[in-house]
Structure 1
Amino acid sequence: MSGLKKHRFEFRIAKMCQALNVSRSGYYAYIKRPESNRSVENRKLLDTIRDIHIKSHRIYGSPQITKNLLADQKASRGRVVRLMQANGIRSKVVKKYKATTNSIHNLPVADNLLNQNFKTSKPCEKWLSDITYIPTDKGWLYLAGVLELHGRALVGWAMDSRMKTELVSVALKQAVGRTGATKGLTVHSGRGVQYASKKYQRLLKRNGFIRSMSRKGNCYDNAPMESFWGKLKMEWLNERHFKTRAEAKKAVFEYIELFYNRRRTHSSNGYIPPFMHSKAV
């Protein structure tokens, strides 16, 4: 460093120390002081937090990040929260769900047997089902899903450009094929015409399933299913623009089969993915 540059550097240091009301000797002692063990640990922990956050597509908040820390790097949730807040790391926020099915019809409806009791003691005891929609430049893409309450896996799903009874029937058949569910299972849905149709009701009866339906206009009766739709849209779809239904289908498949069922951790499962929870029970 030349004499002039050194003079300018020392002048800046002096002005900074004056502004901070510290001595120059104290400043130099500080910058020469070795980094504390706690600071080193926090820096490494922050790198891990960022890595987990990015791999979750910025979905995970502090509870899930804390549970996914490496075995040799465990930390309290409070410490994780402080590091995330200090470095602007935050989870995406799920938007409110909007119902889509048409419940104005003269078909018979079932009683609400679940009555918002979403607890289960074993797999294939209670399923929830519903339909949502995804906008594309070619029109709506409708998605029907079947959610297994014991583990929260989406065990059945189907997509089409039309919201017909066949859509929900295909989703239910896939769920049966994947799980081997037998009679006695309760299948809950909204009051949409697709679920109240004779064809769908025959499918339930043929499998020995017990039907249950939400009360009119009560979204809380199907809350876990609606929560799944919210996660799908906010975590995966809302920031994307789909030119075709094929593009939207690909994105939905990636979320359900590659991320949600196999990788996304759930607090209700002890922070393990739905499919891993199913194998553990």
Structure 2
Amino acid sequence: MRKKTTRQIVKFIEKYKKYYPIKMICKVLKFPRSTYYKAINRKKSDREKFNEILDKKILKIYNDSKKRYGAPKIYKILEKQGIKVNIKTVQKRMKKLGIRSIVVKKFKNHKTKEKIQQLPNILNQDFETTTINQKWCGDITYINIPGTGWTYLANVMDMHTNKIIGYSYSKKMDKELLVIWFGGKNMA
């Protein structure tokens, strides 16, 4: 069995002292009463007081940044506020508080080895229509979902009504994204 720390034993005694005398609890636990009284009457050290203040400031900066800032940015802000602290201390305090920055990976465009076929511009910037389903346009939107990564939403809009007439959603951006919307027909 793992040995309990003084703090844990004192917490236990505090919890049960309303049911049993402190003298009896200490005797059963083989824990010196003098150590118990010393622990409950102990004043906080300067380091503990400083850490409490630092924790409050770190949490304020962290929440003000919408939980985006990590230790380096929080460290720089504390430095500007005149608080002398090491970046390692900020990291330790953040770990103790159970907070970390929310990092969203930026999209990186990957080069493909396939030759991309350039299709002719048959609209020539003429978006005027007289009836529905005469001209359509499409777009692919990149959506980053935490835990999943990048996903893609392809939509097709009728140029006459300016309404979305169909869409397809996928984890991969390939021609299948649009082929699915067109009912599996080959567009090429």
**Structure with more helix by fraction:** 1
Return the TM-score normalized by structure 1: 0.32
After TM superposition, the score normalised by the length of structure 2 is 0.46
Larger Rg: 2
Higher relative contact order (CA 8 A, sep 6+): 1
